[in-house]
Amino acid sequence: MSDCSERCDTTLRDGIVQAERGISSPEGLKWTLYRKMLQIRRVEESLLQLFTRGILFGTVHTCIGQEPCGVGVTQALEPATDVVWSNHRGHGHYLAFTGDLQGLISEILGKASGACGGIGGSQHLHNRNIYTNGILGGTLPCAAGCAFAEKFKKTGGIVTVFFGDGAFGEGVVYETFNVASLWGLPILFVLEDNGYAQSTPKALEHAGEISRRAESFNIPITRLEADHAVSVWQTASGIVREIRRNQRPQLLALQTYRLAPHSKGDDNRDPQELEAHWAADPLKRHRQELAAEDAPRLEQLEQEVGEEIQRCIDFAINDKPMETAHFLKYVDQG
Amino acid sequence: MTYLENLNKALRELLETTSDVVIFGEDIMDPYGGAFKVTRGLQRDFPHRVLTTPISEAALTGLANGMALRGLRPILEIMFGDFTALCADQILNHTSKFRIMYNDQVKVPMTIRTPMGGGRGYGPTHSQCIEKLFFGIPDLRIVAPSIFYEPGKLLKQAVSDDMPVLFVEHKLLYPVELMTAGGSGTKVEHVPHILGYPISLLRNYASGKPDVCLITYGGVSRFVPSILGHLADEEIKVVACVPSLIKPLPTKLMCEIVAEASRVVIAEEGTGQWGWGAELAARLHESLFHKLCKPVRRIAALQTIIPASKTLELTVLPTAENIEHALLEMVE
């Protein structure tokens, strides 16, 4: 397995370089990506409302404002063979990669029709090739192990793992960078740098430029402002192609911003800062582009997305939780 | 055949017969072959499936998780049992969570092998039996081979198990000759268990009921033959119950054996408080309150760290003499 002999020059490059390689966006992609982003946004807004109304028990961490990251990257993957790992802020990744709207909503509402029968909840989702867990940084070596397995079994699949700037405080992240590079594992590390670890700004948590930390492991780094799903898709597509070809890890460092609170009501950021970012909301910008292109089509799309979500919420609310007896089979005997 | 040779042979056979087995750990590359040489010769013969690693126990455990989730059967060697503390987050919040939190849609068939135990003068951080840190974790199996049942067979069972297994070897047992057929005057019986890890029962008498039961596992098993021999000389009938699966506990069989003897000593090498013996004693008490004629007695390491000095180490760790003395007191 070891590819130690193969030298790989670390590069710190701008996402635009990827875009210039001539990966052109297929017809309708902009619409597909918008539909996915809108679905994620509307679902998470609904979840926050359901929490306020006392219907949602537990917690949620929304990715409102960060949608281009998950939507753009997963669009570059093969859902049948590629593997995705995500963290506590994983609804967007899950929806974008699987499209399993009912499974997600029911899961978060704790119902039997949830992706994991309501056992996992918001932070612990699984469906075919996607796995999420709420322990920051701990998902990276698991993802690397999957990458090892896909390479070992020669499935052609690669692994993508999403994590935030906060996770960069965990030592296991660097252990994983090291092994992934040393062993030549086909894994795309996607840093979603939203500038905050829960309530703490990056400047109070990290010394230096965090994305450069991968450099000393010979992991090529691409930095990109994740303000448009198409440019994220374009950049990710180029990187994914390279990883498939050379079976080596890369880091895609996405600059993004979380418009909503860390979890629910816990936000003490400067209102002016928030206002400025809301003005640059990537969903709104994407929408304006489509409205100029075909306003009636946009209206229809938005109506469909809203209705579909409402149907899934209604179904989940009326669904029952998992039978207690079913869960009790998970109790250790002996 | 020694305990170590038996393990090495099993690892080789697993590589030969099972294409999805991958073995990895620190310093296991030949000619070094691992700190305790359990993997010696394997990397030389299976260079793509036996991998030496950086010193990164947390990442290694996570790698095993990912491999297992995607259809491989990884065997991870952690050089010293003490270092499993570095694996703890992965074992607690990843390995043992996935199956249930994903509602049985995945399995995590991974095995972590590691040598625990003192007696070598390695001092406070290289001598401990800290498997107790993991006893309370649901959906994790812990297996500790003794000298009475082939550790290699147990390892094969662990690797074929769809559940994650922490496989606790004992470093003092590595050079010990296996006694799977018992010894002079001692009968051994291996009672099957539903999960596939047998319980070894040793008796120093030919007929009748036992006077006292000794329950122990892993490294302490090396004391059992001499203890049983000495007590046979005193005409004290002892049944020793040595499970290979130490978590979840094979409680039912243990209760049956203890009920027969009505007196029991539990011996373990780890510290006693909050330990294996404490849990087992509570269960025996719950099931056999009226059938025990004496309180359960526990023998374990003193509640302190393990000193490097030979004399001090012997003071802290349980010895054959401690155990024998406790058994004698039980039948007085």
The CATH number that applies at residue B272 is 3.40.50.920
Q: Does residue A12 fall inside a structural domain? A: no
What lies within 8 Å, CB to CB, of B200 at 6+ separation is B146, B148, B149, B188, B189, B190, B191, B240, B241, B242, B243, B244
For residues B233 and B312, state if they share a domain.
yes
For residues B24 and B164, state if they share a domain.
yes
Q: Does residue B177 fall inside a structural domain? A: no
Which residue in the block uniquely carries the two structure tokens 């867990």? A133
Which of B128, B143, B170 is where one domain is finished?
Answer: B170
pLDDT at A317: 98
Structural domain including B82 reads 3-170
For residues B197 and B262, state if they share a domain.
yes
B70/A83 CB distance under 8 A: yes
Provide the token pair at A29.
């992609």
| Cβ-Cβ contacts under 8 Å, B139 against chain A | 330, 332
Residue B114: CA atoms inside 13 Å, Cβ hemisphere, count? 27
For the cut 90, the answer to whether the pLDDT of residue A67 exceeds it is yes
SS3 content of chain A, % helix, strand, coil (to 5): 50, 10, 40
| Cβ-Cβ contacts under 8 Å, A2 against chain B | 51
Asked if the peptide bond before residue B31 counts as cis, ω within 30 degrees of 0, the response is yes
For the cut 70, the answer to whether the pLDDT of residue A5 exceeds it is no
Q: What is the pLDDT of residues A165-197, one digit of tens each?
A: 999 999 999 999 999 999 999 999 999 999 999
Residues in chain B: 332
Which residue in the block uniquely carries the two structure tokens 């999960």? B195
For the cut 50, the answer to whether the pLDDT of residue A1 exceeds it is no
Which of B120, B140, B170 is where one domain is finished?
Answer: B170
Radius of gyration of the CA atoms of chain B, in A? 20
A126/B61 CB distance under 8 A: no
Provide the token pair at B253.
């069989």
pLDDT at A7: 34
pTM of the shown model:
0.95
> In the predicted model, what is the mean pLDDT of residues A250-276?
93
B7 neighbors B15 (Cβ within 8 angstroms): no
For residues B236 and B128, state if they share a domain.
no
For residues B15 and B149, state if they share a domain.
yes
Confidence class of residue A23 from pLDDT cuts 50, 70 and 90? low
For residues B156 and B198, state if they share a domain.
no
Backbone CA torsion sign across A44, A45, A46, A49 = positive
pLDDT at B137: 97
B70/A146 CB distance under 8 A: yes
Q: How near does any CA of chain B get to the CA of A85, in Å?
A: 10
The size of the A-B interface in CB pairs under 8 A is 137
Burial degree of B17 (CB within 10 A; 0-12, 13-18, 19+): exposed
Q: How near does any CA of chain B get to the CA of A152, in Å?
A: 9
For residues B119 and B164, state if they share a domain.
yes
The whole-chain average pLDDT of chain A stands at 93
Provide the token pair at B264.
């029991």
Nearest to A148 among B54, B66, B89 (CB): B66
Q: Does residue A270 fall inside a structural domain? A: yes
Confidence class of residue A11 from pLDDT cuts 50, 70 and 90? low
pLDDT < 50 positions in chain B: none
Q: Given the DSSP bridges, would you call strands A83-86 and A187-193 parallel, antiparallel or unpaired? A: unpaired
Q: How near does any CA of chain A get to the CA of B95, in Å?
A: 9
| Cβ-Cβ contacts under 8 Å, A176 against chain B | 59, 62
Q: Count of domains in chain A?
A: 1
Confidence class of residue A263 from pLDDT cuts 50, 70 and 90? confident
B199 neighbors B244 (Cβ within 8 angstroms): yes
Interface test with A, best of B22, B51, B55, B101 (most A CBs within 10 A): B101
Q: Does residue A18 fall inside a structural domain? A: no
Chain A residue with Cα closest to B140 = A332
| Cβ-Cβ contacts under 8 Å, B249 against chain A | 334
Which residues of chain B have a Cβ shorter than 8 Å from any chain A Cβ? 22, 48, 51, 53-54, 56, 58-72, 74, 89-90, 93-94, 97-98, 100-106, 138-139, 248-252
Q: How near does any CA of chain B get to the CA of A99, in Å?
A: 18
Q: How near does any CA of chain A get to the CA of B62, in Å?
A: 4
Longest dimension (CA), chain A: 66
For the cut 90, the answer to whether the pLDDT of residue A8 exceeds it is no
Burial B147-174 (b: 16+ CB within 10 A, else e): bbbbbbbbbbbbbebebbbbbbbbbbbb
In this structure, what CATH number is given to the domain that contains residue A92?
A: 3.40.50.970
For residues B246 and B277, state if they share a domain.
yes
Q: Which of A1-15, A100-114, A116-130, B229-243 has the lowest mean pLDDT?
A: A1-15
Q: Does residue B157 fall inside a structural domain? A: yes
For residues B108 and B141, state if they share a domain.
yes
Structural domain including A55 reads 26-207+219-321
pLDDT at A27: 75
Backbone CA torsion sign across B310, B218, B286, B326 = negative
For residues B277 and B207, state if they share a domain.
yes
pLDDT at B152: 98
A179/B102 CB distance under 8 A: no
Q: Does residue A9 fall inside a structural domain? A: no
pLDDT at A24: 67
Secondary structure E strands in A112-179: 126-127, 130-132, 159-164
B101/A120 CB distance under 8 A: yes
| Cβ-Cβ contacts under 8 Å, B90 against chain A | 138, 141-142
For the cut 90, the answer to whether the pLDDT of residue A97 exceeds it is yes
In this structure, what CATH number is given to the domain that contains residue B118?
A: 3.40.50.970
**Distance separating the N- and C-terminal Cα atoms of chain A:** 40
A116 neighbors B103 (Cβ within 8 angstroms): yes
Q: Does residue A229 fall inside a structural domain? A: yes
Nearest to A178 among B54, B64, B97 (CB): B54
> In the predicted model, what is the mean pLDDT of residues A94-123?
98
Provide the token pair at B220.
């302490």
